[in-house]
């Protein structure tokens, strides 16, 4: 039985109002069934003389559609792989057909002879916005957001988006929007001529019907004689100026790492040289092509399927009832504590924010005031909302105020003794059963739990800075942490709308372990005499958002020194690299180069408007190689391999138990080259045998830190993948 996803009401003027309202779903998405029903509806209206025009809207308040059901897309990937193994040619032909299905349904709508208006009542993304673009008119609610974000999950808009957008707006703006996967407000979309009207939500349908009644043509401009592209032809003086700049901008922005982004540029360029029907074929061909890339498969899996699973609590112990969190305590109102208090209060929780004295606690609360003020100024929050957030935060030096907290997060100085003292004071006032979480970045949670009377209720919740912007949290299980504490921690993380990964206790947990590898590889390169500029650029071309030396400046060079000293103290001489220690000691002790915070680190930070630039003195530290003697591609590989290898070690040691968490943690925590799908997908994507061979080659040239681990060798021999061998219980191995 097929569910009725669309309601149809035909009024006295012969206007059919189609309301998309999928039963049992909070948001409309494109499924095979929805496409079948849409297809049949277009035929029906085309053949019904009584229907003069059609308005399409959604029955879900505030949202039109989230786009395609990417789970459907993922099953398409696996079906394709299965079929390819049997009959490659037939598999590719079938994929080509499926890749174009939505696009040709839309083209049929566009040329059906009936005028369609899309009434965009709210969020309208991906395939939904492409449907709107195929309609003959578009009116959107002022609050609606719309866009084509496919490039962010490794794809591109393959249902006419790359053709209709640059036929409605100028090529440069179109490319920018498509390549960024930008979300547009209704007013921006109107300014770009992507929609015709903006209306109040209650007037949307009436306005759409008015457009039809005033004689909207059922023939699109590009299907009429004499159509002119908004920016003129590709082969014109303007085109000759634009296109060379596009290709250099594309390379600069993407490092040519994203097949989806590359396909956008090709589709727009090739498509604008052709009539629309042929242009749509070009788009279909590229879409089928991109669907077959490793990058698309890995990005869809990590950034859509896995991310959603983790956000929905894939790792939450199922046998524990959801906690009704009302009050959280935050102890330490400094840089991190203030941020944690803010995101908690913003999510509707009551917050007790404790510091050593009233002034320090108030200073932490002032951070929320500042951020809310900014949001109000930008029109993104009302005054009442801002007042509500502040009213929910109680700033006090009095530990007794923590007595009602269901969860207390500790964010005091990174010092074992201070933390132990605070832990004891908090434990003395906490209500029975409440959970204690530490936000330490380096101290093993198991050690900290020793100061707490009931270590079963002690857990780590590691935030990243700035707390309001970074979407990841690492939840750390100490030796004695029990599942109740995990459930509460995950419920908290869900309330504040962050993505959790659950890891077992180890020095640096997951993200910082991989982060240190990134920085450490850069130190190696500096010591080898690789010009610093090449180091930074290689990292960026490999897909990292910030170069390692710039990142080290942000986190502070003296912090690197502190971590090295602590490791030396705790684990002995062999645990750190003596050359690295020498380099950092020189930077900090001899040169006083502490990073951005004192205006000098690996970079110099002159007063604005001058821009930061690499410190010229770096060249004098080590004999410099000539750029032409450096293998730039290999530098890129070294960064990705050293981090991915560390991620594989965390799995081998049982620190990370689910490959999805390593992938998501690496992308959200470090910005690890998103086109790979994350560190573990990077390995699986090239295949464990190829990765192992690459490690061996790099180990021979650059040292044993690249040597493949026993697990990798074993997996390479057996032809296994991480997602196969460590398949999460709730997800099919891909």
Positions that interact with ligand NAD (CB under 6 A) = 331-337, 354-356, 360, 411-414, 418, 422, 439-441, 462-463, 465
CB-wise, 359 or 690, nearer to ligand NAD?
A: 359
Cβ nearer to ligand NAD, comparing 555 with 681: 555
CA-angle at 716, arms to 713 and 719, nearest 5°: 150
- Min. distance of Cβ 579 from ligand NAD in angstroms? 26
d(CA 554, CA 298): 30
Q: What is the largest CA-CA distance in the chain?
A: 86
Please, which residue, 239 or 339, has the CB nearer to ligand NAD? 339
With H, G, I as helix, E, B as strand and everything else as coil, classify residue 245. Answer: helix
Please report how close the Cβ of residue 508 comes to ligand NAD at its closest, in angstroms: 11
Using CB atoms, what's the residue nearest to ligand NAD? Answer: 334
> Whose CA is closest to 212, among 140, 136, 128?
136
Contact 30, 65 (CB under 8 A): yes
Instruction: Write down the H helix ranges in 627-709.
Output: 632-652, 659-670, 679-686, 688-702
The minimum distance between CB 447 and ligand NAD, in angstroms, equals: 13
Catalytic residue among 367, 462, 613, 705: 462
- Of residues 28 and 552, the one with the C-beta less far from ligand NAD: 552
613: annotated active-site residue = no
Minimum Å distance from CB 428 to ligand NAD?
13
β strands within 29-88, DSSP E: 53-58, 63-65
CB of 332 to ligand NAD, least distance (A): 3
Sheet holding 407-410, edge to edge: 393-396, 350-354, 327-331, 407-410, 435-438, 458-463, 472-477, 499-504
Question: Between 171-180 and 161-168, two packed helices, what is the crossing angle to 10 degrees?
Answer: 140
Q: Which is nearer to ligand NAD, 229 or 566 (CB)?
A: 566
* Peptide bond between residue 404 and the one before it cis (omega within 30 degrees of 0): no
Nearest to 368 by CA among 337, 406, 412: 337
129 vs 463, which CB is nearer to ligand NAD? Answer: 463
Q: Which residues pair with 353 in a beta bridge?
A: 330, 395
CB-nearer residue toward ligand NAD: 305 or 411: 411
Residue 335: CB minimum distance to ligand NAD, A: 3
Q: What is the dihedral of CA 263, 266, 267, 269, to 10 degrees?
A: 160
Task: At 19, list the tokens.
Answer: 């309301």
Q: Tokens for 113, please give them.
A: 């002879």
Contact 211, 196 (CB under 8 A): yes
**Structure tokens of 627?**
């750029």
Residue at token pair 């059906």: 112
CB distance 130 to 159 below 8 Å: yes
Minimum CB separation of residue 414 from ligand NAD in Å reads 4
Catalytic positions: 462
């Amino acid at each position: 039985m097929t569910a009725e996803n669309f309601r149809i009401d035909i009024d006295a003027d012969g206007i059919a109002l189609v309301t998309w309202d999928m039963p049992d779903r909070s948001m409309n998405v494109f499924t095979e069934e929805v496409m079948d029903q849409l297809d049949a509806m277009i035929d029906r209206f085309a053949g019904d003389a009584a229907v003069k025009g059609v308005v399409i809207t959604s029955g879900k308040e505030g949202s039109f559609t989230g786009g395609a059901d990417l789970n459907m897309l993922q099953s398409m990937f696996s079906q394709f792989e299965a079929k390819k193994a049997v009959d490659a040619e037939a598999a590719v032909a079938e994929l080509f057909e499926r890749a174009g299905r939505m696009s040709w349904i839309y083209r049929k709508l566009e040329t059906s002879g009936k005028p369609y208006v899309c009434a965009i009542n709210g969020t309208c993304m991906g395939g939904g916005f492409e449907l709107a673009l195929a309609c003959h008119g578009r009116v959107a609610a002022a609050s609606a957001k719309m866009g084509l974000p496919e490039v962010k999950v490794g794809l591109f808009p393959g249902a006419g988006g790359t053709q209709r957008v640059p036929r409605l707006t100028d090529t440069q703006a179109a490319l920018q929007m498509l390549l960024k996967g930008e979300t547009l407000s209704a007013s921006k979309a109107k300014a770009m001529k992507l929609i015709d009207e903006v209306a109040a939500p209650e007037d949307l349908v009436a306005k759409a019907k008015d457009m039809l009644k005033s004689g909207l043509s059922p023939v699109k401009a590009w299907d009429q004689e004499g159509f002119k592209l908004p920016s003129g032809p590709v082969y014109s003086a303007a085109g000759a100026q634009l296109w060379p700049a596009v290709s250099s901008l594309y390379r600069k922005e993407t490092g040519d790492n994203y097949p989806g982004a590359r396909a956008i540029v090709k589709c727009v360029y090739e498509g604008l040289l052709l009539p629309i029907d042929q242009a749509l074929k070009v788009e279909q061909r590229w879409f089928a092509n991109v669907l077959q890339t490793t990058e698309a498969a890995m990005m869809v899996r990590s950034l859509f399927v896995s991310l959603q699973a983790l956000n929905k609590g894939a790792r939450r112990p199922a046998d524990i009832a959801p906690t009704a969190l009302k009050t959280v305590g935050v102890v330490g109102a400094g840089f991190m504590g203030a941020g944690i208090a803010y995101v908690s209060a913003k999510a509707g929780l009551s917050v007790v924010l404790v510091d050593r004295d009233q002034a320090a606690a108030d200073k932490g609360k002032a951070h929320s005031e500042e951020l809310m003020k900014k949001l109000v100024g930008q029109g993104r929050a009302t005054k009442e909302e801002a007042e509500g957030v502040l009213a929910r935060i109680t700033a006090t030096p009095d530990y007794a105020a923590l007595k009602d907290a269901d969860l207390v997060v500790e964010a005091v100085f990174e010092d074992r003794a201070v933390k132990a003292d605070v832990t004891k004071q908090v434990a003395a006032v906490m209500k029975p059963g409440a959970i204690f979480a530490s936000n330490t970045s380096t101290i093993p949670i198991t050690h900290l739990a020793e100061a707490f009377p009931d270590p079963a209720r002690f857990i780590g919740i590691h935030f990243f800075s700035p707390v309001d912007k970074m979407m990841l949290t690492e939840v750390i299980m100490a030796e004695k942490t029990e599942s109740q504490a995990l459930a509460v921690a995950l419920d908290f993380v869900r309330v504040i709308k962050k993505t959790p990964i659950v890891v077992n206790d180890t020095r640096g947990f997951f993200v910082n372990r991989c982060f240190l590898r990134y920085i450490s590889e850069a130190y190696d390169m500096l010591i080898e005499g690789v010009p610093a500029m090449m180091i930074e650029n290689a990292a960026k071309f490999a897909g990292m958002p910030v170069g390692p030396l710039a990142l080290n400046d942000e986190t502070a060079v003296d912090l690197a020194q502190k971590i090295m000293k602590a490791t030396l103290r705790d684990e002995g001489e062999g645990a750190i690299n003596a050359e690295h220690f020498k380099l950092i000691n020189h930077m900090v002790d001899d040169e006083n180069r502490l990073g951005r915070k004192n205006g000098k680190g690996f970079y110099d930070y002159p007063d604005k408007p001058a821009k930061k630039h690499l410190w010229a003195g770096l060249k004098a530290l080590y004999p410099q190689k000539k750029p032409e003697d450096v293998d730039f591609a290999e530098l890129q590989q070294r960064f990705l391999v050293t981090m991915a290898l560390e991620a594989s070690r965390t799995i081998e040691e049982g620190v990370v138990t689910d490959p999805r968490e390593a992938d998501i943690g690496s992308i959200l925590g470090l910005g690890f080259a998103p086109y790979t799908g994350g560190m573990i997908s990077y390995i699986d994507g090239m295949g464990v045998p190829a990765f192992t061979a690459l490690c061996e080659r790099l180990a021979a040239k650059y040292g044993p830190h690249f040597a493949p681990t026993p697990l990798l060798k074993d997996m390479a021999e057996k032809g296994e993948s991480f997602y196969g061998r460590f398949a999460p219980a709730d997800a099919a191995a891909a």
